[in-house]
Each structure stands twice: as structure tokens, then as C-alpha cells.
Amino acid sequence: MGALDGLVVADFTRVLAGPYATMLLGDMGATVIKVERPEFGDDTRHWGPPYDPAGRATYFESVNRNKTSVAIDMNSNEGLAEARELVKRADIVIHNFPPSNSEKFGLDYSSIKNLKADVIYCSITGFGSGVGAQMPGYDLLVQAMGGLMSVTGPGPGEPTKVGVALVDVITGMHATIGILAALNHRNSTGEGQEIEVNLLSSLLSAMVNQSSGYVSGDVVPGILGNAHPSIVPYEVYQTSDRPVVIAVGNDGQFGKLCSVLGIPEVATDSRFLTNPDRVANRIAINELLNMEFSKQGADHWWHMLTEIGVPCGPINALDDAFKLADSLGLNPIVTINQEGEQRKQVANPITFSKTPVRYTVAPPSLDEA
């Protein structure tokens, strides 16, 4: 039994934020029915390379397991009737249509509630359902307009996007959290409700200390490359062969770091005694640290510092990251055996003691039950 066994999700989402949310629900046991356009399907079916060995776009594969697919022409009366029948069966309806399209298709909350009074209804937009309702919601656009690129990059004047569609992923997680909370409310009261999630608000919330620095401290942050605005040393340092990351979070760890590096006197230097001191003297402390790190290779420092509890690690490529997770017993890759084919997937990161996640259905072909 999955935690969400017996629940039916009518999934009208496409691309990433919504499909990621519905895949999480499917992993936890919900029956997810993905509605796609006839012939073309979800946009991400065509976003490649890369492709898997059978020629399927790995982008689509990343967020669409544990679902069936039904092709519905939402621009036809027959298609709209089919969509309404699906909604009547569903406990959860989720979409990322612009508000004008949801009303056009009769999939706005007022219409859906008339079909299924206790439905959990979740809409995902780029910039909300008000003034920004018609603004296109693409991750890169929101990274730019939402401030993430303004604090990301090698240095001032070089804003850079994050290397994955992080805003979409964060928004999908927020949608999932909202749906689960609404289900708990329905279990207590019998009432459904409407949930709205948008990319911009999700990003502003997820920028945590940077957003709080502005809201509470009136500080507009800039780009610090790999450095941290409030913690030192907490960045990348060059060793004799390749860079490592040091993430010292307190004065005790800093003392241990200096001891291993052979410069214990630095930990008691008045310029570096506390974290605020080190932030004020960032350049001076980094010059000292880089000089010492350059004397040995990354693996040497990684093992030496990790052994005494100082956060340190090499900068891995993705293949090495998966090897690391595997070596730690985290089982980061799962295989779904379907019709004689071994379909590899990235594992769901949540473990349950009573209702484990499932990997029963590989990402479907278009209109595949």
C-alpha cells in the first residue's frame, strides 16, 4: 500500500513543474492520468538530445513515471466531455493552463467544483492569476525576473542561470505540499479547496536568506561567485590538483580547519576570531587558506577534513555524484522492468517505513493506458 493509494489525479500539466508534482504523487501510490495533446503530446517528449537507448527524450522520462497517458483534444466538444468525465472520477485536479484557457475549457475551479464538490484543485502559473496571469511562465524567465540570476554567476556583472530548471522543481514541490495539506483538511472536514502556486512566489520564498536580507534588512545582494554573503570560509578553494568546497558553519569547525592545515594560530587571530570577523576580512583569510590548500590534492583534504567533521568535498561531475550516492548506500538509480525492457530512473529521495514509494509504471507512450 502506498501512502496515497486509492486517490485519482487528473493531470492536465505539461513540461516540468506540474509533471514533477504529479510524479511525486504517483510515486506515493496515487493513480495519475496524464492528459496530453493528440499526436504531439507533452512538449518535453520532443526536448532532446539526450535520449535513452530507445530514442525517448530523457527530459520527459525524468518526471513522468507512474502515470498513464490519455490523448484528449481540448479544442473539441468530445474532448471537453471526456475531460469532464475524468474530473468526476478524480480526487485531485492539477493544471498549468493560463487562467483564460482554464475558463475556456471549463477547467476553472468554479466549474470543476460543480462537477466534484470535494475536489482538491491545484493551478500552477508563472506569475499568479491576477495582473500577471497571461505572462508566460518559463523557468529561465523567472530565474531572471525573480532575482536568482542576480545572485548567481562567476562575478559582478555576469548573471548566470542555475544549471537545472530549479524554479520549476521548487514550484512542483510546493504544489505537492499544498495538495497533501488540502487532502488532510478534506479527510477532517470533507471539504475540497483551491490551491494556487506560481513560479515567482515559489522562487522568492526559496531564496530564503537572500530574500530575507532584502525584506528585513533592506539589503539588495549581488553576485559573489561561489562565496557566501554571510559565512566565511564557505566557498571553493584550489588544491594542488582540483578544487574543493569548504563549508565551515561555526567557529569550532574553523579552528579544526586551521589545525589540519597547519596554521592553528590563524584561528585565534583577532581578524578571524568569529564568523563576522572573517566575513569582514574575507580576502585576507582566503589568501591564507588558498596558500595552504595548494600544498596537497583534493582527495587528501577531503578525507582529512571529513574525518574530523569539517565539511569538505570535491566538485563532482554528475557521474561521480551518482557513484558517491551509490557508495553511501543511497541507491540513487532504480530500474522499472516493463515489457522486457529495463527502464532506468532516478530514485525518489523520500523513504517511508510503512508505505514505501513505488516504481511500477515507466513513463508512458502517448495515449498509453
Residue-wise pLDDT tens digits, 222-231? 999 999 999 9
- The CA-atom distances, in angstroms, between 45 and each of 39, 60, 64 are 11, 5, 10
Q: What's the pTM value of the predicted model, to 2 decimals?
A: 0.94
Are both 187 and 41 inside the same structural domain? yes
CB 344 within 8 A of CB 337: no
> Domain for residue 284, yes or no?
yes
Q: Which helix (H) or strand (E) holds 302?
A: helix 298-307
Q: Is 168 a catalytic residue?
A: yes
Structural domain that includes position 68:
8-206+334-346
What is residue 98's predicted lDDT score, i.e. its pLDDT?
Answer: 86
Are both 191 and 251 inside the same structural domain? no
Q: Nearest CA to 300 among 314, 320, 289?
A: 314
**SS3 of 118, please?**
coil
Q: Nearest CA to 352 among 19, 22, 29?
A: 29
> Domain for residue 188, yes or no?
yes
> Domain for residue 174, yes or no?
yes
CB 232 within 8 A of CB 278: yes
> Domain for residue 369, yes or no?
no
Are both 252 and 128 inside the same structural domain? no
> Domain for residue 169, yes or no?
yes
Q: Which helix (H) or strand (E) holds 188?
A: helix 166-189
Are both 166 and 238 inside the same structural domain? no
> Domain for residue 269, yes or no?
yes
What is residue 271's predicted lDDT score, i.e. its pLDDT?
Answer: 97
Q: Percent of the chain, pLDDT > 90?
A: 96
What is the tally of structural domains in the chain?
2
* Dihedral sign of CA atoms 267, 270, 276, 279 in order: negative
Q: Catalytic: which of 108, 139, 168, 299?
A: 168
Pairing relationship of beta strands 341-346 and 333-338 according to DSSP bridges? antiparallel
Are both 317 and 340 inside the same structural domain? no
Are both 142 and 250 inside the same structural domain? no
pLDDT in tens, 106-158: 999 999 999 999 999 999 999 999 999 989 999 999 999 999 999 999 999 99
Are both 248 and 169 inside the same structural domain? no
Q: Nearest CA to 139 among 168, 161, 159?
A: 168
| Cell, residue 87 | 474530473
Are both 78 and 113 inside the same structural domain? yes
What is residue 66's predicted lDDT score, i.e. its pLDDT?
Answer: 98
Q: Which helix (H) or strand (E) holds 253?
A: helix 251-261
Strand partners, 344: 335
CA distance 197 to 176: 10
- The DSSP symbol for 363 reads P
CB 45 within 8 A of CB 51: no
CATH of the domain at 299: 3.30.1540.10
Are both 316 and 342 inside the same structural domain? no
DSSP 126-177: SS-SSTTTTS---HHHHHHHTTTGGG-SSSTT-----SS-HHHHHHHHHHHH
Are both 125 and 183 inside the same structural domain? yes
Are both 278 and 161 inside the same structural domain? no
CATH of the domain at 109: 3.40.50.10540
The end-to-end CA distance of the chain, in Å, is: 21
Are both 174 and 54 inside the same structural domain? yes
Q: Percent of the chain, pLDDT > 70?
A: 100
Q: Which helix (H) or strand (E) holds 346?
A: strand 341-346
> Domain for residue 282, yes or no?
yes
> Domain for residue 128, yes or no?
yes
Length reported for the chain: 369
CB 166 within 8 A of CB 156: no
